Amino acid sequence: MTQASLFRRITDFANRADPYPLYEELRRTPVLHEEEDGPYVISSYWDIRSLLHDPRISSDAANLAAAGDELAEAQSTGLPPSFLRLDPPEHDRLRRIANSAFGPPHKPHRIESMRGELHAIVGGLIDGFGEAREIDLVDQFAYPFPVTVICRLLGVPREDEPRFRAWVDPLVATLDPETRAEADEEFVKSAQEARMQLGMYLAGLVEQRTKDPQDDMLSDLADSRGPEGAMTMMEVMSTAVLLLIAGHETTVNLITNGMLTLLRHPDVLHRLREDPGLSARIVEELLRYEPPVQIVPQRTCIADIEMRGVTIPKGSRIWLMLAAGNRDPERFKDPEKFDPDREDIQHLGFGSGIHSCFGAPLARLETQIALSELARRLENPRLVEDPPPYRQNAVLRGPRHLSIAFDALR
Amino acid sequence: MAADYLDWLRREGRIVIVGASLAGLRAAETLRAEGFTGSLTMIGDEPYEPYDRPPLSKAVLLGKASPLHTELPHRREVDAKWRLGVPATGLDLTAKRVRLADGDEVEYDRLLIATGVRARPWFKEEEGRLDGVFLLRTRDDAARLLQRLRSARRVFIIGAGFAGCEVASACREMGLAVTLAERAGAPLVGALGGVIGAVAADLQTGNGVDLRTGITVTALEGDPAGRVRSVHLSDGSEVETDVVVVSLGSLRNTEWLTGSGLGAGPRGIACDAGCRAFDFRGIVTDDVFVAGDVARSPHALFGYQFLSLEHWGNAVAQAETAAHNMICRGADRRPHLWMPAFWSSQFKVNIKSVGVPPMGDQIMITQGSLAERRFVGVYGHQGRVVAAVSFDNTRWLEFYQRQIERGAPFPVDYTTVDRRPEGRQPVDADFPDPSLPTHGPTVTLSGYSPADQQLVFTPARH
């Protein structure tokens, strides 16, 4: 009986709770190409890092479609790709305009000024546990927190969450390799439809902001009168869709993975409780140890690339296994150890190069506050079930539920 | 025997560091981090704790940082005896003593020289003393210049290198009228060549700078009260001004070593790749090390040319290597293999380069476009990539650094994202005075951390 290919075992839902032994196996063939039309799978830290900075690697959705990704081809109709799926110069222009609504130099204080608000949201959610002594961290905390934040930041009404969630879920599902492999025409069509619906919904909000600007990102995107000019309405729509989804889907997993990891390392949890200042180091180490984005599966090479003696031919699809690189013993001492005290915490958790995580400063702040407050307020927290049940998605990997029992709230 | 001496040195030896700026501080920290427990003396001519200089021509002039508060963060306690405000005046290699300006002498077992450079003064001393004429190198320089700029309307900057261009940028942001004079055909030509110089020129003029190129300043004229009033140029013209900033590069602080027997002179102090200083006979010393702007060391990747690099990152890396080598066994020594890199920020454009651009004779714009002032340019020499420069495209440079380290072929023969028609062919990089080394063996650099970097030597094919 032949065993399934390694990369199929990695995407297999059965292995979701602990893919790390498979990643270790993967690193033994750092440039893996198992199936003729399949991707080249890259798993060592330095190789991933160098490809993230390599101008022969394209993120353009059109190149992905040309490389034989049928789903990408189907998605090429409808709303135009966001800057995540574009190359320079278009990527650079759209990301610059988006950034002028988000960070320095135009909005240097936007994130930092939300600190008090983030504390209040976190405090409210924890108070909301009430008399219960067992909670589902995902549904009661890790999901509602970043959703509330991204809604405030963008200017999306929080009460519309059930509405946009119905569009977001099928879109996020298209990122999962196993789901993609089994996708039929109907699935593709409905995902495309969902993206368009979500875009239209956000366009409606942008239109309101054009008439009545508020202190939020949609207002700034609608305005964008900088030297770069404005985005077209279609560009505003695909950017807003990207920001809304990327602005919470990944953070849910970072917070949940974080609490799971802390509960598996009670000594670190105890230290965090005594010293909230440790949260910065903990979050960086988490981004290495349990990154919320495990795989970057959407790159293609536009020229032959030589890597460890293997020629990756022009036009090939490339998967960058961030989570495998993060535990590469060539780069990290004791890579399998969760150690917030390590001397040089670096990671691929936010990617690197021009597509490195746009929302990183927000994700860091949210997770630091979330974990330090959970550590401070939950008395004697413990896992009810280990491992917890996981989501289907292999790319955006994280628990679907995380039951936590505790003795009291502080 | 040698091992015994080293054990003793690490335990209770005396190490003296002359130069208490970036390189000196990082060396001191590295010595302690690597287990040196003996006595450490830091000698510095300025009366200040080590501070950071790059902000002086940027944030400080814009009033976003105080010239008095750019201290370098300490990575760890160095437990040193600080002799600040007292320049070293001489060195006795035989007696192993450093002489100080106050007459004191300090004995050492191992010495690190990190005395850096100073601003080159205006060549006519009397004119240089006019009120309103400034140099910019130290925090005192920056504080004085800043104070004067606040009441000035017009500024004249002599020299359009990186520092001069950054000062021009800051002054324009302050709303001052700026004239920038340069002997060459464009700003930054010496560092980046004429192709990129033309972009830098557009950047200056596009932001309202009165740029005068191909011209020299012949005289600075003062009023009867001794305040600078105008600048005379080689084309016969005269420009009235309130302030003159002389930005003509730097001089290496080696005069104090005259007659010491070290191989020290106007071009710096020559040392081997392990940071050990040469004496004037060309024989390497065992107990005197050099790091930072004042050092001149052979770089394997660039034809073993002796390079002096006035780069922030070089000072840090060389100081760390020198400190490591000062207290380790011969077999554990590391070569200083830092990839030259510097950055600048002018008119909100981030300029960064890796490698040695002036070594290149051709340039290819592999990404973006010169006209948009957002691009990556790659320099080639004898069929190899030797450098790259980016304007607002910093995130790609790591790739080009690896290309340089691997001796990748030039012209670049592969496709890249954002390649424009202008980037299909290499063009003359247009350096005014290319210093071309002869053809030699190909050397490539592999590995990522200093501990696992390896040189691979491939003999030349003739």
Average pLDDT, chain A: 93
Residues of B in contact with A50 (CB under 8 A): 398-399, 402
| Interface contact A354-B418, CB threshold 8 A | no
| Closest CA–CA distance from residue A40 to any residue of chain B (Å) | 19
- Strand ranges of the sheet holding B81-84, from the earlier edge strand across to the other edge: B81-84, B39-44, B14-18, B110-113, B284-290, B276-278
- Using an 8 Å Cβ cutoff, are A118 and A146 in contact? no
pLDDT attached to residue B443: 46
Q: Is B345 near chain A, with CB under 8 Å?
A: no
Decide if pLDDT at B448 tops 80: no
What mean pLDDT is predicted for residues A190-209?
92
Distance between CA atoms of residues A13 and A390, nearest Å: 9
Q: Using CA atoms in the order B117, B154, B352, A111, what is the torsion angle rounded to 10 degrees?
A: 120
- Reference A250, options A140, A356, A363, A161; nearest CA is A363
| Interface contact B372-A354, CB threshold 8 A | no
| Interface contact B374-A57, CB threshold 8 A | no
What mean pLDDT is predicted for residues B23-46?
97
B45-50 own/partner pairs: CB under 8 Å, 24+ apart: B45/B85, B45/B86, B45/B87, B45/B88, B45/B115, B46/B20, B46/B21, B46/B84, B46/B85, B46/B138, B46/B139, B46/B140, B47/B84, B47/B85, B48/B84, B48/B139, B49/B20, B49/B82, B49/B84, B50/B20, B50/B21, B50/B22, B50/B24, B50/B25
What mean pLDDT is predicted for residues A293-318?
95
- Using an 8 Å Cβ cutoff, are A55 and A89 in contact? no
Q: Is the residue at B270 inside a domain?
A: yes
Q: Is the residue at B158 inside a domain?
A: yes
Do B157 and B66 share a structural domain?
no
pLDDT level of residue B445 (50, 70, 90 thresholds): low
* Cα nearest neighbour of B392 on chain A: A92
- Reference A150, options A163, A162, A161; nearest CA is A161
In Å, what is the CA distance from A189 to each residue of A63, A78, A169, B209, B346? 20, 10, 14, 56, 49
Q: If you compute the radius of gyration of chain B from its CA atoms, what whole number of angstroms results?
A: 23
Do B375 and B281 share a structural domain?
no
What is the residue type of B182?
Answer: E
pLDDT attached to residue B442: 43
Facing residue for A55 by CB, picked from B348, B399, B448: B399
For the ranges A71-80, A92-101, A173-182, A220-229, the maximum mean pLDDT occurs at: A92-101
Q: Is the residue at B189 inside a domain?
A: yes
| Interface contact B414-A303, CB threshold 8 A | yes
pLDDT tens profile B132-143: 999 999 999 999
Residues of B in contact with A105 (CB under 8 A): 348
- Using an 8 Å Cβ cutoff, are A367 and A376 in contact? no
Structure tokens at A112: 């930092």
Q: Is the dihedral of CA B5, B10, B14, B20 positive or negative?
A: positive
Residues of chain B above pLDDT 70, percent: 93
Do B258 and B167 share a structural domain?
no
Do B319 and B279 share a structural domain?
yes
Tell me which of B299, B332, B365 is where a domain ends.
Answer: B332
Residues 135-154 (B) with a CB less than 8 A from some CB of A: none
Q: Is the residue at B21 inside a domain?
A: yes
Q: What is the residue range of B179's domain?
A: 125-248
Decide if pLDDT at A308 tops 50: yes
Higher pLDDT, B338 or B221: B221
> Where residue B424 sits, what CATH number does that domain have?
3.30.390.30
What does residue B126 show for φ and ψ, rounded to 5 degrees?
Answer: -65, -45
Structure tokens at A370: 């979330």
Out of A37-51, A247-261, B54-68, which region has the weakest mean confidence (pLDDT)?
Answer: B54-68
What mean pLDDT is predicted for residues A355-382?
97
pLDDT attached to residue A79: 87
Distance between CA atoms of residues B342 and B351, nearest Å: 8
Q: Is B377 near chain A, with CB under 8 Å?
A: no
Q: For B79-114, give the DSSP string.
A: --EEEET--EEEEETTTTEEEETTS-EEE-SEEEE-
pLDDT attached to residue A40: 97
pLDDT attached to residue B95: 97
Q: Is B398 near chain A, with CB under 8 Å?
A: yes
pLDDT attached to residue B275: 97
pLDDT tens profile B187-204: 999 899 999 999 999 999
pLDDT attached to residue B103: 96
Facing residue for B417 by CB, picked from A50, A302, A314: A302
Q: Is the dihedral of CA A181, A184, A186, A188 positive or negative?
A: positive
Out of A230-244, B89-103, B228-242, which region has the weakest mean confidence (pLDDT)?
Answer: A230-244
Residues of A in contact with B414 (CB under 8 A): 56, 303-304
Q: Which residues contact A150 (CB under 8 A, 6 or more apart)?
A: A156, A243, A244, A247, A248
Specify the 3-state DSSP secondary structure of B426: coil
| Closest CA–CA distance from residue A354 to any residue of chain B (Å) | 6
pLDDT attached to residue B450: 47
pLDDT attached to residue A192: 87
Q: Is the residue at B343 inside a domain?
A: no
Distance between CA atoms of residues A401 and A392, nearest Å: 12
pLDDT level of residue B435 (50, 70, 90 thresholds): very low
Beta strands per DSSP E along A59-131 = none
Decide if pLDDT at A20 tops 70: yes
What mean pLDDT is predicted for residues B324-338?
93
B297 forms bridges with which residues in the sheet? B307
Decide if pLDDT at A3 tops 80: no
Distance between CA atoms of residues B326 and B283, nearest Å: 17
pLDDT attached to residue B436: 37
Q: Which residues contact B307 (CB under 8 A, 6 or more apart)?
A: B296, B297, B298, B299, B340, B356
| Closest CA–CA distance from residue B2 to any residue of chain A (Å) | 32
Do B279 and B263 share a structural domain?
yes
Distance between CA atoms of residues B195 and B209, nearest Å: 20
Q: Is the residue at B264 inside a domain?
A: yes
H helices, E strands: number in chain B: 8, 31
The domains located in chain A, with CATH, are: 6-409 (1.10.630.10)
Distance between CA atoms of residues B326 and B18, nearest Å: 14
A24: Cα separation from own chain's centroid: 22
B427 forms bridges with which residues in the sheet? B363
pLDDT level of residue B75 (50, 70, 90 thresholds): confident
Site from A53, A95, A333, A348 to mutate, B interface, most B CB atoms within 10 angstroms:
A53
Q: Is the residue at B342 inside a domain?
A: no
Distance between CA atoms of residues A300 and A67, nearest Å: 7
> Where residue B132 sits, what CATH number does that domain have?
3.50.50.60
- Reference A259, options A392, A125, A107, A369; nearest CA is A369
Decide if pLDDT at B439 tops 70: no
Burial class of residue B454, CB neighbours in 10 A (0-12, 13-18, 19+): exposed
Give the side-chain half-sphere CA count within 13 A for B3: 2
- Using an 8 Å Cβ cutoff, are B210 and B177 in contact? yes
What is the residue type of B409?
Answer: P
Distance between CA atoms of residues B304 and B438, nearest Å: 11
Beta strands per DSSP E along A133-258 = 134-136
Tell me which of B200, B222, B248 is where a domain ends.
Answer: B248
Q: Which residues of A185-220 are buried (b: 16+ CB within 10 A; e: fewer)?
A: eebbeebbebbbbbbebbbebbeebeeeeeebbbbb
Site from B372, B392, B399 to mutate, A interface, most A CB atoms within 10 angstroms:
B399
Do B299 and B192 share a structural domain?
no
* Cα nearest neighbour of B376 on chain A: A55
Chain A positions touching chain B (beta carbons under 8 Å): 46, 49-50, 53-58, 60, 87-89, 92, 105, 302-304, 314, 352-354, 356
Do B214 and B157 share a structural domain?
yes
Enclosing H/E stretch for A248: none
Decide if pLDDT at B454 tops 70: no
Distance between CA atoms of residues A278 and A371, nearest Å: 10
Q: Count chain A–chain B contacts defined by CB atoms under 8 A.
A: 53
Out of A194-198, B6-10, B12-16, B444-448, which region has the weakest mean confidence (pLDDT)?
Answer: B444-448
| Closest CA–CA distance from residue A319 to any residue of chain B (Å) | 18
| Closest CA–CA distance from residue A88 to any residue of chain B (Å) | 5
pLDDT attached to residue A154: 96
* Cα nearest neighbour of B408 on chain A: A306
Facing residue for A89 by CB, picked from B368, B396, B399: B368
pLDDT tens profile B278-313: 998 889 999 999 999 999 999 888 888 888 888 999
Q: Is the residue at B297 inside a domain?
A: yes
pLDDT tens profile A128-165: 999 999 999 999 999 999 999 999 999 999 999 999 99
**How many CB atoms sit inside 10 A of residue A397's CB?**
22
pLDDT attached to residue B180: 98
Residues of chain A above pLDDT 70, percent: 97
Do B201 and B160 share a structural domain?
yes
Tell me which of B280, B307, B332 is where a domain ends.
Answer: B332
Do B18 and B81 share a structural domain?
yes
Facing residue for B395 by CB, picked from A50, A105, A353: A353
**Integer distance in angstroms from the first to the last C-alpha of chain A?**
56
Do B231 and B255 share a structural domain?
no
Do B142 and B29 share a structural domain?
no
| Closest CA–CA distance from residue B374 to any residue of chain A (Å) | 9
pLDDT tens profile B135-184: 999 999 999 999 999 999 999 999 999 999 999 999 999 999 999 999 99
pLDDT tens profile B347-397: 999 999 999 998 899 999 999 999 999 999 999 999 999 999 999 999 999
Tally of structural domains, chain B: 3
Do B184 and B173 share a structural domain?
yes
Distance between CA atoms of residues A62 and A172, nearest Å: 19
pLDDT tens profile A110-132: 999 999 999 999 999 999 999 99
pLDDT level of residue B456 (50, 70, 90 thresholds): low
| Closest CA–CA distance from residue A352 to any residue of chain B (Å) | 8
Distance between CA atoms of residues A134 and A244, nearest Å: 30
In Å, what is the CA distance from B97 to each residue of B87, B88, B90, B106? 14, 11, 8, 5
B83 forms bridges with which residues in the sheet? B43
